[in-house]
Structure formats: C-alpha cells, structure tokens
Amino acid sequence: MKTIGNIIWFLFGGIFIALEYFISSLLLFITIIGIPFGIQTLKLGLLALWPFGKEVVYRNKESSFLWTLMNIIWFFIGGIWISLTHIIFGIIFSITIIGIPFGKQHFKLASIALTPFGREII
C-alpha cells in the first residue's frame, strides 16, 4: 500500500512540494550561515518526495540546546509558514475519504516543518 500511496503522492503534487524544498535548500546552501537550514530542508524535501512508510523520531538529546536554538531560529524564519501550508493542504485533503491518507502525510510534514532539528527520518 505504501508503494501505491507514494506513486499517487508523487504524481499528484509530491514532486512539486519536493522541488520547492530542493530549490530553497540550494538557496540556503549559498550562504555559510544557511547551510544547517539547507540540510534540514533537503531532508524535508526527501521526505516530501516519498512520505508513505517513513517515520520521524527524535535523535538522542546530546546537543538538545543547539537543536532548540536552531528550531527557534527556524520557526521564525520560515518554519511557521511551511507548517501552515502543510496544515491547510492536510485539511483540504482530509475533506474526502480518499484524501485522508494524503492529509495525514501533510500533517506529518507540518509537524516536521515546524521543528526539524533533532529529528531523524527512518
């Protein structure tokens, strides 16, 4: 089921979401300060490309202060807007029964887009 879900996701908009993440990641890589944020958007783009069958877990808490600081900066720079976009798409997709699995994936992406630092995609 996850393969079919990923194919449908890819064909009906997943590629565009992933491309937006990849383009923003490349733009962030231009500056030295933006490299950590570019790495996170690259991970978000890979997850947005094939979201079904993947889970997101927290890494161990060794450098949790740095992750917290980076998540605060991320939140104000763009995380809130990316997250709100995924929430809106999740609500739109969840209106129909067929769209509920895709809405769930958008809600998963919204959670990760809000605070991506300190998380690992499995």
Residue count of the chain, please give it.
122
The pLDDT value given to residue 61: 67
Which of 6-15, 58-67, 104-113 is predicted least confidently? 58-67
CA distances (Å), origin 73, targets 19, 66, 85:
23, 11, 19
List of E strands, the chain: 56-58, 119-121
Provide CB contacts within 8 A for 36, sequence distance 6+: 70, 117
Q: What is the pLDDT of residues 68-101, one digit of tens each?
A: 899 999 999 888 999 999 999 999 999 999 999 9
The domain tally of the chain equals: 1
Closest CA to 44 of 108, 93, 101: 108
Q: Which domain holds residue 71?
A: 2-121
